[in-house]
Amino acid sequence: MAVLRWLRRNLVVIAGLCTLAYLLLPNVVVTVFSFNKPKGRFNYSWQEFSTDAWRDPCGVADMCGSLSLSLQIAAWATIGATVLGTMIAFALVRYRFRARGAINSLIFLPMAMPEVVMAASLLTLFLNMGAQLGFWTVLIAHIMFCLSFVVTAVKARVMSMDPRLEQAAQDLYAGPVQTFLRVTLPIAAPGIAAGALLAFALSFDDFIITNFNAGSTVTFPMFVWGSAQRGTPVQINVIGTAMFLVAVLLVLAGMLAGKRRNKQSR
């Protein structure tokens, strides 16, 4: 009886913890196996604890090169998609023009389209244009599919923004540039930041579209895929764990900053 009652009272917490475990278990496995010392080429069964891979993360040929390439592409794709997407979002919310409805739905199309279809059609397009496959084709493709996500994130924010705030800024002697920098941009910033983060994550780990359009260029996801055929170096787990840690630290920093801001204003 007592057990049942305890269960009933804590059911929500238990369900929550189980879901969390389900979400995070893969990350735990990746982290644990980054300290493995595998026998043979495959890092799939636990042998013994070692920090070898952590001490020499770039010990695998070409891996750090592809990682740096992926980071570069993700950074540029994020910048490109965020700038263009933010402008599109503002145009769609603020202005009434003829094709507005059509563009609103067209923007969603890349998100709904199967990635492999988009990849194949992009490749056809690039080949027909006679473009050299490589860094630039990958970057163009990434900016393209990140755009829809940025537009969606920013649009939601701009739509909920009171146009009177900008009028108030103008009324208080702020010219068009000042109004945008001091009022519009800071208020839209959370939406823009969300769109940028989404774009970075999407671009960094995209495999299908990249694989079709990269030519002989090898990004990090492509490297992982390629090496999985021949054996999996522990260093892949090290990179994976490091990425996860960076993400966790970013989230923690954001939370702390938010808390401090709230405390200050209280």
Partner 1 sequence: MTTAQEHGGDVRLTGISKTYGSFTAVHPLDLTVPQGSFFALLGASGCGKTTTLRMIAGLEEPSSGTVHLGDQDVTALPPYKRPVNTVFQSYALFPHLDIFENVAFGLRRRGIKSVKKQVGEMLDLVQLGEQARKKPHQLSGGQQQRVAVARALINHPKVLLLDEPLGALDLKLRRQMQLELKRIQTEVGITFVHVTHDQEEAMTMADTVAVMNGGRVEQLGAPADLYENPRTTFVANFLGTSNFIEAEVAARSGDDLILKAGDCKLTLPTARCTGPTATGAKVLAGVRPEKISLTHADDAGRIPEGRNRITGRIADSSFIGVSTQYVIDSPACDSFEVYAQNIERDARLTPGAEVVLHWNPAHTFGLDAAQDVEAGASKVEEDASA
Q: Which residues bind partner 1 (CB under 8 A)?
A: 162, 164-165, 167-175, 178-179, 182-183, 186-187, 264-266
> Is the CB of 68 or the CB of 178 nearer to partner 1?
178
For helices 63-94 and 185-204, angle between their N-to-C axes, nearest 10 degrees: 140
Q: What's the N-to-C CA distance of the chain in angstroms?
A: 46
Q: Which residues of 74-113 are buried (b: 16+ CB within 10 A; e: fewer)?
A: bebbbebbbebbbebbbebbeeeeeeeeeeeeebeeeeee
* Least distance to partner 1, CB of residue 56, Å: 46
> Is the CB of 169 or the CB of 238 nearer to partner 1?
169
> Is the CB of 31 or the CB of 170 nearer to partner 1?
170
DSSP 176-221: HHHHIIIIIHHHHHHHHHHHHHHHHHHHHT--HHHHHH-TT---HH
Token readout for 196 is 């940028």
Biggest CA–CA distance in the chain, Å, is 74
Find the angle CA(237)-CA(63)-CA(111) to the nearest 5 degrees: 75
* Least distance to partner 1, CB of residue 265, Å: 5
* Least distance to partner 1, CB of residue 165, Å: 5
* Least distance to partner 1, CB of residue 168, Å: 4
* Least distance to partner 1, CB of residue 254, Å: 16
Cα(186)–Cα(65) distance, rounded to whole angstroms?
36
> Is the CB of 95 or the CB of 173 nearer to partner 1?
173
> Is the CB of 172 or the CB of 246 nearer to partner 1?
172
Instruction: List residues bridging with 90 in a β-sheet.
Output: none
Locate tokens 């990746």: which residue?
A: 30
* Least distance to partner 1, CB of residue 262, Å: 9
> Is the CB of 41 or the CB of 182 nearer to partner 1?
182
